[in-house]
Structure 1
Amino acid sequence: MLHAPMLSTDRLVLDRHRPDDLDALAALWADPAVYGPIGVAARSREEVWIRLLRHVGMWATFGYGSWAVRASRDGPAVGELGLIEARRALDPPLTLPEMGWMIAPELHGRGFAGEAMGAALAWSDANGIARTTCIIGTDNAPSLRLAARLGYRPLREAPYHGKTVAVLER
């Protein structure tokens, strides 16, 4: 698969990342309400561009990857989520595709992340990728609750970039 298939939910469209998503994604990754709970620093425009290209390349390389989340087909990105091969420096390393998600702060607490993740996981299951993992900061209660609702179960805790993360598997 060369690019992400379009998925739709009642309120969202999950679509491939496009070069014109850069401005919207750079604004999101500069917002402390986005990067703070994840436990990373604000991402520069350059870093966001490299991430965007990574998401595009993931589909061509592995046949799965991440989607840009939109409120409408032609709307700006209001988040991103999906499967990645991050090859993180965790010990022991992750051996399954990793699922991750990020939604605009104005959509927090309204079920958008769960709705979008439900569509992504349904696609993943239908395409033979039923087992996935994710890492979440142990202090990120909203994402830990969502992960549990999505069927992720704790495996262990691990140090990662100076923080403790929960390693979960579905």
Structure 2
Amino acid sequence: MQTSLSVPMLTTARLTLTGHTASDLEDCAAMWSDPRVYAMIGGQPRSREDVWIRLLRAIGQWTLFGYGTWVARDTAGRLIGELGLMETRRAITPSIDAAPEIGWTLAGDAHGQGYASEALAAILAWTDARIPSTTCIIDPANAASIRLADRLGYRLRTTGLYRDAPILILDRAAGSAGAGVSAAR
């Protein structure tokens, strides 16, 4: 079920990406309680209440900005993750508020199977036609996400701080591909 007509459904060979709905809460809460998921994203599990607030924020961003995040499910309906664009207004030094932030979180069982690359390729195809650039932040220890960002064309802008921890801040212009992060180092 779509949240509204303004959230486009994206499909890939193995995935369907839709807007968040209230019925996604339990699957998303289970995902955010898995240590394989949160280890590189804050290091703490998210409570069901926090996941509910994230879900509501995801729905609201589509209404306010015309873009947001999607829930990715495989052909069997299993939650693969949450991916897409966010207006986080995070207290990051230096600021990343000049462009939407792209993010990806995959269920623990979905790691290492190419789902993030597949979903993000569809999201970036949609995004590139609408938004001139995006940014992302990655924990410097998250080698898998750094490799993925590189393949997607993200270039290292700088190292920053978020919640007193170092983060990599990466940028991507619409239509960019490959040779990003490692080439910029």
TM-score by length of 1: 0.94
- Contact (CA 8 Å) 2:80, 2:115: kept in 1 or not? no
Query: Could you say which residue in structure 2 is the equivalent of 1:82?
Result: 84
Amino acid at match of 1:131: S
Deviation of 1:78 after TM superposition, in Å, equals 2.2
| Structure 1 residue 76 displacement after superposition | 4.4
**Structure 2 counterpart of 1:104:** 107
1:34 is matched with which residue? 37
Inter-partner Cα distance in structure 1 for 2:169 and 2:66: 24
Q: Is 2:127 the partner of 1:124?
A: yes
Residues 1:10 and 2:13 are matched in the alignment: yes
The alpha carbon displacement at 1:107 in A equals 1.5
Distance in 2 separating the partners of 1:23 and 1:78: 13
- List alignment gaps of at least 5 residues for structure 1: none
Give the Å deviation of 1:112. Answer: 0.5
Which residue in 1 is equivalent to 2:178?
none
The 2-side partners of 1:15 and 1:99 are apart by 16
Partner amino acid for 1:20?
A: S
* 1:50-106 superposed Cα distances (whole Å, 9 cap, x missing partner): 00000000000000000001113x824321010000001012211110000011121
Partner Cα distance (1:76, 1:84) in 2: 23
Which letter does structure 1 place at the counterpart of 2:79? Answer: A
Runs of 4 or more, structure 1, over 4 Å off, are: none
Q: Equivalents in 2 of 1:15, 1:44: separation in Å?
A: 23
The higher relative CO (CA closer than 8 Å, separation ≥ 6) is in 1
- Local SS of the residue matching 2:55: helix
The one-letter code matched in structure 1 to 2:50 is E
Distance 1:120 1:111 in 2: 14
1:167 is aligned, of 163, 166, 169, to 169
Residue 180 of structure 2: aligned partner: none
Amino acid at match of 2:101: E
How many residues are aligned here? 168
* Map of 1:62 onto structure 2: 65
1:40 Cα deviation from its structure 2 partner: 3.5
TM-superposed CA distance for 1:130, in Å, is 3.1
Q: Which runs of 5+ in 2 are unaligned?
A: 173-185
